[in-house]
Amino acid sequence: MDEETKILQEEHDYKETITRLIQTHQGNSSKLESMLTEFHPYDLSRVYCDLDSLTRKQLLQAFNPDFSASIFEHFSEEEAISIIQSLPAVDAVKIIDRMESDDAVDLLHYLEEEELDISLVHRLSPKKRAEINKLWAYSEDEIGSAMSNSFIRLTCAMTVREAMKKVVAIAGDTEYISIIYVVDEHQLVGYLKLKTLIIARAEEKIAYIMETRLFYAHPGDDKEDVALMMQEYGESSMAIVDDTEHLVGIVTHDDLMDIISDTKSEDYARFAGLADGDIDLKTDTVLDSVKNRLPWLSVLLLLSMGTSLILSLFEGSMTASAGAILLSSKLAVYLPLILDMAGNSGTQSLAVMIRYLTGGKPELTRKTMGKYLFREVGTGILQGALIGILVFLLVLLTNWITTGILADHRSLLTGIVTGFALWLTLTISTILGAVIPLGLDRMKIDPAVASGPFITTITDIIALSIYYAISLAILLPLYL
């Protein structure tokens, strides 16, 4: 089966064919162009990036700007920047002018981020400039930045015949035609699938066949929220309207796919305490890898200092007498175990909550939230108790092995204190693992910010405070 899959995939690798076509027809760019239009612009963009810089320049200059633009839209951030810089401004402007506005804005944003010259925006056509200006205002997290304007608008007074005529006339130049939006003086009043239009009777009015149950988002809405909404509603596009319900653009399935997979790797990266989840073994250097991790580690180092500071507070009572020193050395024995277990249970409930909040599940109402948290509290108490009992037995067992006495007063009390402290910390850390992301979500902060390492560090601080406070209060008298 694996062999078959491989063969099929090789068959669909058009790179070689494209490369050969370019090599043999390089001199005749119009013929080359007509041959290359048979391929998907994504494949062309992959081949293009492997060409030498001179051929690249020549080709993009020779091709029809529309065609060049369609290839351009499939470049990655770095590729687009390096290629646009290698082109004379006049050609770059021609291409950007033909790109979809949202892709053009992305490109300009990259250039700006890299602190490169974006003055070529002034040389774009007035129409493109206006569209870019409209999108420019939105931050990368807002759905407005991913809006497209290349779709079909109809009015409700049109008949199906008139509508079809319009669709046939402009379909070729329109990026997205599967869903058609119906407006009345720019106001969104309905939508219909092209499918519906195709099978409708010619004399029928659009107003009569369109769907009026509207789904839309506002351009300032968070990308991820809109993506979740679109998934629920299951259509391949969604309307974006302004405050007066005027249709300003649409978001389509391909944007949705990008948003979801970006979010997915972003959430995952955060959970693991990484700055970036997209790792490419081929291009990433050691420096990228350090940059990806060291900032988080430094933050966690500062947070972790909290554990040392708290332990320093207990240091006075722990070193006050020979007995106290003996006790503190005994306490240290179970310290890593307690901290580790607290961190583990916190990580577990954190993962469950983050997936609940970001995985397109129904939103938590007051009632379901109560139920959710009640379940986490119950889980924490129950598994805390079980682990606590196990550790109590472990303490007794250790004492028996090291001293030969199964249960004296001191080891019994040590076991109870350790088990109890563990029960309490496990309960609290399980609750925290759920409450922290939930709280972030309520404050409109992405809950995925709370990473596993972050939770572990917080639970460390709480766990050792509880452990030392209880132990010193109850056990210290026994060692004096």
d(CA 380, CA 349): 9
Phi, psi of 189 (to 5 degrees): -120, -15
**Shortest distance in whole angstroms from residue 248 CB to other proteins:** 22
d(CA 210, CA 95): 37
Of 120 and 167, which has the nearer Cβ to other proteins?
167
Closest CA to 101 of 204, 217, 312, 248: 248
Of 222 and 254, which has the nearer Cβ to other proteins?
254
Alpha helices by DSSP H, listed for 319-408, are 322-358, 366-403
d(CA 55, CA 60): 9
**Shortest distance in whole angstroms from residue 206 CB to other proteins:** 17
8 A C-beta contact, residue 146 and residue 255: yes
**Shortest distance in whole angstroms from residue 191 CB to other proteins:** 16
d(CA 330, CA 469): 15
**Shortest distance in whole angstroms from residue 418 CB to other proteins:** 10
Of 139 and 298, which has the nearer Cβ to other proteins?
298
d(CA 101, CA 339): 52
Of 246 and 264, which has the nearer Cβ to other proteins?
264
**Shortest distance in whole angstroms from residue 387 CB to other proteins:** 6
Which helix (H) or strand (E) segment is 270 a member of?
Answer: helix 253-271
Of 246 and 371, which has the nearer Cβ to other proteins?
371
**Shortest distance in whole angstroms from residue 457 CB to other proteins:** 6
Kind of pairing, strands 247-252 and 237-241? antiparallel
Of 66 and 184, which has the nearer Cβ to other proteins?
66
What tokens were used for 20? Answer: 């050969």
8 A C-beta contact, residue 132 and residue 104: yes
d(CA 157, CA 64): 38
**Shortest distance in whole angstroms from residue 125 CB to other proteins:** 24
8 A C-beta contact, residue 218 and residue 282: no
Of 302 and 443, which has the nearer Cβ to other proteins?
302
**Shortest distance in whole angstroms from residue 187 CB to other proteins:** 27
Of 119 and 365, which has the nearer Cβ to other proteins?
365
CA 222 to the chain's CA centroid: 12
d(CA 225, CA 435): 20
d(CA 309, CA 336): 17
Cα distances from 22 to residues 44, 52, 56, 361, in angstroms, run 10, 12, 11, 49
Burial tier of 205 (Cβ tally within 10 Å: 0-12, 13-18, 19+): middle
Residue 261: count of CB within 10 angstroms of its CB: 11
**Shortest distance in whole angstroms from residue 477 CB to other proteins:** 19
Which helix (H) or strand (E) segment is 184 a member of?
Answer: strand 179-184
| Count of alpha carbons within 13 angstroms of residue 223, beta-carbon side | 22
Of 216 and 296, which has the nearer Cβ to other proteins?
296
Of 90 and 290, which has the nearer Cβ to other proteins?
290
**Shortest distance in whole angstroms from residue 202 CB to other proteins:** 12
**Shortest distance in whole angstroms from residue 226 CB to other proteins:** 13
